[in-house]
């Protein structure tokens, strides 16, 4: 009945806190084969941050291009198998990047100790053993992947997280300096993931005083960052956005996401759209579910000159729309929260197809 959530064990926050990593890792280096696996967004390959990674000669650094697709089960299995066969079991995993890298680091940490393919563990509490130590350093803010107890993976059958207590990071380093280089459009889409998390968390039957307190504060920060007189790309707003992302994640952990995320999962699974962008595509068409939130979102679009494509559904076949509706329908926890326990009497595959046709 009641959620019993394991939080991040240790969190360091502040400008320049990235440089505490060496000290933090040194205490963990004596475990297993004593080396660390660093999984780093390819964006940083030739950037100054790469030279600040406190890697020793025995460590492995993998730069991963996250743009071709969201993390897959196959990608995790291959990475795990390759490291185990060439180097053995690491002392820990460090992920430096956005939600994609956070999820890869969390998933591979679990898969180092759980046999077989990660497809076996997509779902709630299917993981059998704790993973190895893992540390996350977000470099783009909004998804809340740094705090959540899930590592979202796309498999051959479903897009679903490895969700359990052991997924949560042992340590995160929140250094707002790292998000300054995010391009404007990604800054907007990923930040809006937080905004939408809060709106959805607030609007549903699972909302409660605990989730509300986090959503309220996170929404206030989002409004200052994206709408207020001081809005835009400033250092102060980067400081706020990192905290908003964390709090949005906390809010939905104690509540739930809703209609927008259900539609977004369909767009990602069937059309390969990225999570945060897909949310933005869906959210602006959901005025009847989230009236005030959608209106405010539209003001933010205008303020930051973000243009989303119009009438995209006219290019989709009925088969694609049906397939997306099936993905969305099969997320009962989201519909339950957003529409109510009797959601099946109100929402059918046809209803959801109608929602996709609005896009
Ligand atoms: P991302 O990790 O996919 O990265 C988006 C883009 O930003 C990439 O091109 C990346 O190279 C670039 N980038 C990242 N940091 C940068 C920086 N500092 N400067 C310049 N460019 C930078 O982005 P995301 O939106 O944070 O993550 C999306 C992923 O997160 C999806 O795979 C989604 O499924 C997942 N997700 C997970 C959870 C969770 O709870 N685990 C929640 C929501 C979404
Ligand atoms: Zn989201």
Give the Å distance between the CA of 342 and the centre of ligand 1: 34
For residue 120, is pLDDT > 90? yes
Indicate the average pLDDT of the chain: 96
Residue 136, strand partner residues: 95, 172
**According to the model, what pLDDT value does residue 32 have?**
81
Residue % of the chain over a pLDDT of 70: 100
Q: Kindly report, residue by residue over 272-313, the tens digit of the pLDDT.
A: 999 999 999 999 999 999 999 999 999 999 999 999 999 999
Structure confidence at residue 36 (pLDDT) = 97
**Among 59, 66, 65, 114, which residue's Cα sits nearest to residue 92?**
59
* Mean pLDDT of the 262-271 span: 94
Give the predicted TM-score (pTM) of the model.
0.95
Orientation angle between helical segments 184-202 and 209-226, nearest 10 degrees? 150
Strand ranges for 16-59 from DSSP E:
36-41
Give the residue whose CA is nearest to atom 30 of ligand 1.
99
Rounded to whole angstroms, the Cα distance separating 185 from 120 reads 35
Q: Which of the ligands is closest to the CA of residue 334?
A: 2
In total, the chain counts a number of residues equal to 359
Ligand 2: distance of its center to the CA of 100 in Å? 12
152 lines ligand 1 (CB under 6 A): yes
pLDDT at 95 over 80: yes
Question: Looking at residues 79-84, what average pLDDT do you find?
Answer: 98
pLDDT score of 31 more than 90: no
For ligand 1, the distance from its centroid to the CA atom of residue 97, given in whole angstroms, is: 7
What is d(CA 216, CA 222) in angstroms, rounded to the nearest whole number? 10
With beta carbons less than 8 A apart as the criterion, state whether 145 and 138 touch.
Answer: yes
Which ligand number lies closest to the CA of residue 95? 1
């Amino acid at each position: 009945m009641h959620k019993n959530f394991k939080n991040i064990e240790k969190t360091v926050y502040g400008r320049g806190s990235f440089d505490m990593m060496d000290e933090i890792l040194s205490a963990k280096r004596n475990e297993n084969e004593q080396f660390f696996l660093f999984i780093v967004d390819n964006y940083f390959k030739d950037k100054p941050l790469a030279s600040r990674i406190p890697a020793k000669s025995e460590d492995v650094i993998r730069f991963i291009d996250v743009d071709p697709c969201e993390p897959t089960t196959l990608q995790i299995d291959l990475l795990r198998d390759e490291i185990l066969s060439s180097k053995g079991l690491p002392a820990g995993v460090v992920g430096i990047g956005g939600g994609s890298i956070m999820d890869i680091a969390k998933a591979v940490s679990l898969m180092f100790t759980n046999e077989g393919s990660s497809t076996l563990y997509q779902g709630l509490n299917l993981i059998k053993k704790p993973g190895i130590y893992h540390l996350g350093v977000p470099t783009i803010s909004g998804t809340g992947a740094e705090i959540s107890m899930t590592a979202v993976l796309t498999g051959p059958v479903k897009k679903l997280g490895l969700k359990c207590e052991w997924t949560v990071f042992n340590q995160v380093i929140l250094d707002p300096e790292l998000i300054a280089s995010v391009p404007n459009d990604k800054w907007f889409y990923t930040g809006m993931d937080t905004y939408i998390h809060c709106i959805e968390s607030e609007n549903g039957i699972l909302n409660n005083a605990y989730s509300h307190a986090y959503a309220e504060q996170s929404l206030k920060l989002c409004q200052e960052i994206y709408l207020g007189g001081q809005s835009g790309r400033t250092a102060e707003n980067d400081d706020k956005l990192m905290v908003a992302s964390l709090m949005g994640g906390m809010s939905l952990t104690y509540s739930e996401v809703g209609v927008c995320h259900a539609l977004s999962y369909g767009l990602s699974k069937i059309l390969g759209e990225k999570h945060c962008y897909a949310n933005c595509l869906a959210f602006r068409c959901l005025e009847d579910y989230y009236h005030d939130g959608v209106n405010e979102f539209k003001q933010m679009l205008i303020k930051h000159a973000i243009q989303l494509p119009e009438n995209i559904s006219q290019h989709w076949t009925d088969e694609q729309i049906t397939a997306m509706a099936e993905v969305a329908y099969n997320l009962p926890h989201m519909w339950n929260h957003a529409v109510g326990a009797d959601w099946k009497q109100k929402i059918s595959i046809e209803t959801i197809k109608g929602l996709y046709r609005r896009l």
